[in-house]
Structure 1
């Protein structure tokens, strides 16, 4: 990994050309001083690099499922991952990009979502088959294990947002913890959301913030400006005490009085609008999302929708969009299988099978998208069509997911629970995705003269 990390650093322009580097599930995301210096062709020629692309002002080097290990080595080589003050100041002046921000704060939490999602699905599956009594201590402890990641989401997002914005993560976590302090629920009493209190005579509308996303992310975004201001006006010797003191006095009441209620309303409105569209014409929504999601993934725009799915799972216990993302993953798997069956090139066949298995067992599609589908073109089109057909069936059947997970064979238990037939319809829809994409890929064929796959 150290050799690959050094190779990547050298070919993005060296240490001096790097403001910062982060990663998501499969990609290293570089903020560079000058993107034109990067040697994209040489990066792409490396067998351990799946693809290279520019999106949202970033240079993204697609590595695959071992990206975290490569990222760790890159940070070690970049002086322990510590940028100079000059680099940080220059980076702060660069244009803010919403998609980069969202991916940066959610990527570190995704493994926890995946593990918790599978655990919750398996628990629901055991309950459905009568293997587990839902009122037993075992079932309740498993529920705690699976749902804690959602309940304490404000604290985790406070940490990742603070890390991304380069402010004190511990102070940020305290702000997140304040939102889910049991005292808030006690103050709400039997009234619940909408109960009223006051802070020095200022009216406060109390809300429940466990499992919420937008309130804490917005709060820490505001806090990042406050911290930078306080560091400029408070002498260094007094920052240990007065920076957190002033931050707590300002940010926690401000969040409870204004930021929290406003963002909860916005979150509920957005989620309600999207869920309403899906329920109104689920077949069309399934075809559109199931067919188009791979396109969003290919340019990194899928991160904009992830918070909505997480909010739905956390708030109402299920989501309609997650099944559509499963559809698009299984469609891409089908295209990779089609390439494996049709290709006469041993290298193509081996790589296509590897990417299909990667989707099946980890739900990660980027190696198949950048390494197989896009270079060969027609398999990508086949995946879009397969995802649309299977997604339409899933939407028409109103399939729900009861966990936020990557779409693969290992995460199928996330369809356990709810109405009878939910799991069966999910399996039928996903089977359609695989078969349609594989058959279309095989029939349409592809040009095997592509140099790198």
Structure 2
């Protein structure tokens, strides 16, 4: 039955994205089905958003359909199978999206259209070389997230059993299972780096494997002792990037008859030597500096640092700069066993949830927008914020700012406890909100760690709610939004400060888009 449900979801999505011939590649991350489309105009956005299984859509370098954790991993194979089965068939011409009904209220569809326009404009602004490079770096680490989550939860379970003194024979086995992936994560990073930048993946993994090889401890690199794992994921990233450049150079100059022997050999040899006698040391220093700075930042200025990080994370997401944090999180997990930054950054999602609840109660007559909030809130509590951001807060304008205020308050709460010496973090990246609870680890014990994180979420919810409820709408915006769908929309004469025109009403006018964000 579960397979049938996921296949039905895939079958519903396929015609709405233009059919199989409109799709050039299919992938998925933890929450999103990512499609590369040939013709963006064939996609029926509103119909997609209306599907019960779809939590939202995001347009970036790929067209991304938010399905949620777990569901996306089951829908994607079914979707791929349907595409393969239908490749030879002539796709049906997609139906044009239904015209919006002449409605009185500004509805969720109006906000969705505004959000889509904002996303498109932001996408154009984010298409800079630096941000595109960061996106490629993120593509290296995103496929590793499921393993990080699984191993992180097992590590937390192992710690709990160790503290309780239960099942001592099981503890070493759990330790091996949870630590095995992290001990070889450099190899996976090297493999994905070479794949992303156009090299041979296995060569990138082979060069990165040098970093974790135990025998490097016997090498004297210009008087400096090397340690297995020194440089970690940053060293693996740099080594694999070097390997890609060496491989491409070899492809240009090595005769084809010798390519199969010479190119792999030179790629691994040259990149491996540079890694051993340079990159491992430099990356090791960079990794140590990142860990030292992160811990110093929160221990010395925890409340203020938490306020800044929690408040600015959503704007960083909008600018595409949050992707630079992924290798930093991974480096901290590799060094300390957890990243202290993620629980603070997760407070941004708590502010979004609080703001959305305030929108729900502040606009009792706008049934369409309230329905959007109701459908998106469960995902928001689990840390999936896209439906709330692009469907509610961002197109409304002020609620996006007040949501950031809620995130700042939650971040300050968590950061304060770091400053007081109660440091904790997440053993994996990817989840947020309530889904982060199983991944939390810290020095003060599970109970204290969970209580502080829960307190931060509560502060984020409450402050985001209060800020949005009292300051989230201008008078004109509130008047335009808080009306039922059968009421006529405000004409210029109806707006505050404009005398009413005499004579009979002329009927509803189209919404003024500017009123949504005033």
Distance in structure 2 (CA, Å) of the matches to 1:414 and 1:387: 20
Q: Following TM superposition, by how much is the alpha carbon of 1:141 offset from its aligned partner in structure 2, in angstroms? A: 1.8
Q: Following TM superposition, by how much is the alpha carbon of 1:355 offset from its aligned partner in structure 2, in angstroms? A: 2.5
* 1:380 counterpart = 2:400: yes
Gaps of 5+ in 2: 1-9, 85-127, 483-510
Q: Secondary structure at the match of 1:132?
A: coil
Question: Which residue of 173, 179, 185 maps to 1:141?
Answer: 173
Pair 1:297–1:223, CA change in 2 (3 A): same
Pair 1:249–1:401, CA change in 2 (3 A): same
Per-residue Cα deviation, 1:117-139 (whole angstroms, up to 9, x for no partner): 233233334444x2636xx2312
Distance in structure 2 (CA, Å) of the matches to 1:239 and 1:44: 51
Distance in structure 1 (CA, Å) of the matches to 2:195 and 2:11: 24
Pair 1:143–1:115, CA change in 2 (3 A): same
Match of 2:66? 63
Distance in structure 1 (CA, Å) of the matches to 2:55 and 2:340: 34
Q: Following TM superposition, by how much is the alpha carbon of 1:175 offset from its aligned partner in structure 2, in angstroms? A: 1.6
* 1:354 counterpart = 2:360: no
Per-residue Cα deviation, 1:235-255 (whole angstroms, up to 9, x for no partner): 334333322222222111211
Structure with the greater alpha carbon radius of gyration? 2
Pair 1:67–1:181, CA change in 2 (3 A): same
What are the equivalent positions in structure 2 for 1:50-449 lying under 5 Å apart?
A: 50-53=56-59, 58=61, 61=64, 63-65=66-68, 69=75, 95=129, 97-128=132-163, 130=164, 132=166, 136-185=168-217, 187=218, 197=220, 205-209=225-229, 212-344=232-364, 345-361=366-382, 363-398=383-418, 399-405=423-429, 406-420=431-445, 421-444=448-471, 448=481
Asked if the contact 1:44/1:50 (under 8 Å) is kept, the reply is no
Distance in structure 2 (CA, Å) of the matches to 1:243 and 1:297: 40
Pair 1:6–1:166, CA change in 2 (3 A): farther
Per-residue Cα deviation, 1:352-398 (whole angstroms, up to 9, x for no partner): 2332222334x322222212221233332232111111111110111
Asked if the contact 1:64/1:367 (under 8 Å) is kept, the reply is no
Pair 1:76–1:260, CA change in 2 (3 A): farther
Distance in structure 1 (CA, Å) of the matches to 2:402 and 2:206: 48
Q: Following TM superposition, by how much is the alpha carbon of 1:319 offset from its aligned partner in structure 2, in angstroms? A: 3.1
The count of corresponding residues between Structure 1 and Structure 2 is: 414
Q: Following TM superposition, by how much is the alpha carbon of 1:6 offset from its aligned partner in structure 2, in angstroms? A: 6.3
Backbone CA RMSD of aligned residues? 3.8
Distance in structure 1 (CA, Å) of the matches to 2:228 and 2:455: 38
Per-residue Cα deviation, 1:25-50 (whole angstroms, up to 9, x for no partner): 456778899xxx85499646742583
Q: Following TM superposition, by how much is the alpha carbon of 1:14 offset from its aligned partner in structure 2, in angstroms? A: 6.0
Match of 2:104? none
Asked if the contact 2:149/2:439 (under 8 Å) is kept, the reply is no
Asked if the contact 2:231/2:281 (under 8 Å) is kept, the reply is no
Q: Following TM superposition, by how much is the alpha carbon of 1:316 offset from its aligned partner in structure 2, in angstroms? A: 1.9
- Higher mean Cα deviation, 248-257 or 262-271? 262-271
Per-residue Cα deviation, 1:157-196 (whole angstroms, up to 9, x for no partner): 11211221121111221222222112224x2xxxxxxxx6
Distance in structure 1 (CA, Å) of the matches to 2:162 and 2:373: 37
Asked if the contact 1:231/1:243 (under 8 Å) is kept, the reply is yes
Distance in structure 2 (CA, Å) of the matches to 1:416 and 1:219: 31
Q: Following TM superposition, by how much is the alpha carbon of 1:306 offset from its aligned partner in structure 2, in angstroms? A: 2.1
- Higher mean Cα deviation, 364-373 or 148-157? 364-373
Q: Secondary structure at the match of 1:369?
A: helix
Asked if the contact 1:211/1:311 (under 8 Å) is kept, the reply is no
TM-score, length basis structure 2: 0.69
Match of 1:91? none
Q: Following TM superposition, by how much is the alpha carbon of 1:142 offset from its aligned partner in structure 2, in angstroms? A: 1.7
TM-score, length basis structure 1: 0.78
Distance in structure 1 (CA, Å) of the matches to 2:380 and 2:188: 27
Q: Following TM superposition, by how much is the alpha carbon of 1:197 offset from its aligned partner in structure 2, in angstroms? A: 1.4
